[in-house]
Structure 1
Amino acid sequence: MLSQQGPLLIFVLLFLFASFRYTYFLSTYNMISFFSYNTIFGLLALGETFVIMTGNIDISVGSVAALSAVVATRFSGAGLVPALGMALLVGLLIGLLNGWAVARLRIPPFIVTLATLIGVRGMALIISGAATLSTSGNDFPAIYSGTLLGIPVPILLLVVAFVLGSILLHYTRFGRHALAIGGNEEAARLMGLPVVRIKLLVYVISGILASLAGVLLAAQTYTGNPNEAVGWELNAIAAVIVGGTLLTGGKGTLFGSLVGALLLGLILNVLNFENGYGLISLSSYWETVIRGAFLLVVVLLQTRLAGQKKLRAMVLSPAPKAPPV
């Protein structure tokens, strides 16, 4: 329970603290900037959750986002729909490649996605000519800066992705099968569950959401930079683990991953405000250190809680009966 509700409680307390301490924390500009920017990491975390809950991992999402940003920028002159469509096609194809190698060839997912991370980053450099491209479509940046019914488009995209993902996880056989595979893949295979198809689909979901994050990045910065999104895969994995999903699979929560992504973003936002007060002075390079330290604390706590739960189950379980003589 603590591993699931703890991040939400910390987020609420930290949000309240910042609201009272910093004058402009609740300003419209800061709130829109905070939630719109962290939408990118929320999308990455949602896709990573599906992969991790099956007991696998995808460390290529940062490179996929960078390549998608470059591709979207290349096609931005044709309009928003072609740019978005081509970028999502990139995520779909890379997801299929990862899923096929992991599920069909049974290559360890870390090795597969590490190779993809390197290869896809190289493709981004080739397509962009190792240069930063500029968007040329007038309507393309609207996917990040535009609003619908007064709500920023990135936030709406994240909400839609979360709702669809939750329906998929909790109300379809796909979700139940994914959790079963993460719990015990061999048992799931013996039960006749479509293990290959499920693993293929989770990587496709991860690839598509990573591409969407890349499109938002390009629309935000008006550029396609092949060197962007470095280390984003670690941010996504950190958010998933902070949210309570087990790295070993079999247990996952999209809401927890979303809270984890927002919590990590809120910590950095608070530190930026604190820098302005002059009490502390941390450069942007400390962001990675803070994320890593926070992740380590959460993993240690998660491991300890899991150990206590296992010990409690052993103590409370009835003793086996002696065989009849």
Structure 2
Amino acid sequence: MSTIETTPQAAGTDATARRLKFVQRVQRQGALAVLVLLCLVASFQFDSFATGPNIRSIGLQASFLAVIALGMTFVIFTGGIDLSVGSVFALGGVLAAWAAQEYGTLAAIVVPLVVCGAIGLVQGLVIAYGKLAPFIVTLAGLLFARGLLLFISDEGATVNKVPADSGFRNLAQGSLLGIPYPIWIVVVFFGLGALVLHRTSFGPTVLAIGGQEDAADLMGLPVARTKVITYTASGLLAGFAGVLIASYTSSGVAIIGVGTELQAISAVVLGGTLLAGGAGTIFGTLVGVLLLQVIANVINQVGSLNSNWQDLVSGGILLAVVVLQRYLAGTVRR
């Protein structure tokens, strides 16, 4: 009777594979576990938390950031970063309100998308073909978009109001089956994002660039073109989020969007996407956005805490996630 012996090398390979699966599971499901736990605790602690109106409010408030974070997810997949999205978001809102006031609903959607998409396109071209660091390029884009925004709004003194009879208001204020339109838009956008990531050649290319750009280039993948598309899409989505917020508030306010880029990055990282790029999920980003919004909602439910606690708690969770990712990555390499 013969026996099959496991060599030390095979055992080591199996152990590494198990550790890798564990890391991937934590990255993909860790934020979801925290979100579920937080919702359960809040439901028992606050009577109004699990009510229909509050859940709709959480979804609606999260939808604006979710649209921005979707674009940021693909940017971070490539190993890049987009610091301009907060200012582009605000610029899109001001342009949408101005266009709705002057030219109507169609212009309120098209004008912001053209301008914000152009900003993303220019950034992508400079990063891809100029070989400049995304941090520097998008920081310049942040300053440019914010400067253009202040110029258009006369240093924030001018607030364009969407006419009361404008159909543009229905884009974010209307609902279907009792669910606000922005939530439906997020569902559609994230569904399309998942299809792009998993069912097209663009998705693996984005991840390959983030995993090892030089290797992706040697494999003949369209690295530069993919980066341009990614940053253009980020600008378009940030601009569209601005369109939604202008419709929701019926105005274009210059002071919004400050720090939104950091919230978007936080949501992506909380959702399990590595800041170094090359790994992550679309669903994880959505979970990260919801986690941030639920934290904000719980703090509002407490009442005695001011809004600064949201940043404190979110920052602590984000730091813990990044440290855990680094630790687990080191464990796998060992």
Structures share fold, TM-score greater than 0.5: yes
CA displacement at 1:108 relative to structure 2: 0.5
Instruction: Quote the Cα distance in structure 1 between the aligned partners of 2:89 and 2:183.
Output: 18
CA displacement at 1:80 relative to structure 2: 2.4
* Mapped pair 1:284 → 2:312: no
CA displacement at 1:263 relative to structure 2: 0.4
* Mapped pair 1:302 → 2:331: no
Instruction: Quote the Cα distance in structure 2 between the aligned partners of 1:147 and 1:178.
Output: 34
* Mapped pair 1:15 → 2:39: yes
CA displacement at 1:13 relative to structure 2: 1.4
Q: What is aligned with 1:40?
A: 64
Of 137, 143, 156, which residue of structure 2 is paired with 1:118? 143
CA RMSD of aligned residues (A): 1.2
Instruction: Quote the Cα distance in structure 1 between the aligned partners of 2:241 and 2:310.
Output: 20
Query: Which sections of structure 1, spanning at least 5 residues, go unmatched?
Result: 276-280, 312-325
In the alignment, is the contact (CA less than 8 A) between 2:295 and 2:310 conserved in 1? no
Of 81, 86, 108, which residue of structure 1 is paired with 2:133? 108
Aligned ranges 1:75-114 → 2 under 5 Å? 75-77=99-101, 78-114=103-139
Query: Which sections of structure 2, spanning at least 5 residues, go unmatched?
Result: 1-24
**Which is worse superposed, 35-44 or 290-299?**
290-299
* Mapped pair 1:64 → 2:88: yes
Under a length normalisation based on structure 2, what TM-score does the superposition of the two structures give?
0.89
Instruction: Quote the Cα distance in structure 1 between the aligned partners of 2:235 and 2:268.
Output: 16
CA displacement at 1:231 relative to structure 2: 0.2
Of 239, 245, 268, which residue of structure 2 is paired with 1:240? 268
CA displacement at 1:165 relative to structure 2: 0.6
CA displacement at 1:195 relative to structure 2: 0.6
Instruction: Quote the Cα distance in structure 2 between the aligned partners of 1:272 and 1:149.
Output: 27
SS of residue matched to 1:234: helix
Instruction: Quote the Cα distance in structure 2 between the aligned partners of 1:290 and 1:14.
Output: 12
CA displacement at 1:227 relative to structure 2: 1.6
Instruction: Quote the Cα distance in structure 2 between the aligned partners of 1:268 and 1:104.
Output: 40
Q: What is aligned with 1:156?
A: 184
Aligned ranges 1:267-282 → 2 under 5 Å? 267-275=295-303, 281-282=304-305
In the alignment, is the contact (CA less than 8 A) between 2:207 and 2:277 conserved in 1? yes
Report % sequence identity. 48
Q: What is aligned with 2:253?
A: 225
The letter of the residue matching 1:83 is A
Deviation string 1:54-80 (CA, Å, 9 cap, x unpaired) is: 011101000000000000010113332
CA displacement at 1:239 relative to structure 2: 0.4
Q: What is aligned with 2:212?
A: 184
CA displacement at 1:138 relative to structure 2: 2.2
The letter of the residue matching 2:86 is G
In the alignment, is the contact (CA less than 8 A) between 2:56 and 2:179 conserved in 1? no
The letter of the residue matching 2:202 is F
CA displacement at 1:150 relative to structure 2: 3.3
CA displacement at 1:189 relative to structure 2: 0.8
Deviation string 1:61-105 (CA, Å, 9 cap, x unpaired) is: 000000000000101133322201111112211110110010011
SS of residue matched to 1:141: helix
Aligned ranges 1:126-141 → 2 under 5 Å? 126-130=151-155, 131=157, 132-136=159-163, 138-141=166-169
* Mapped pair 1:258 → 2:286: yes
The letter of the residue matching 1:171 is R
**Structure 1 stretches of at least 4 aligned residues deviating more than 4 Å after TM superposition:** none
SS of residue matched to 1:100: helix
Instruction: Quote the Cα distance in structure 2 between the aligned partners of 1:14 and 1:289.
Output: 16
In the alignment, is the contact (CA less than 8 A) between 2:299 and 2:310 conserved in 1? no
SS of residue matched to 2:276: coil
The letter of the residue matching 1:188 is A
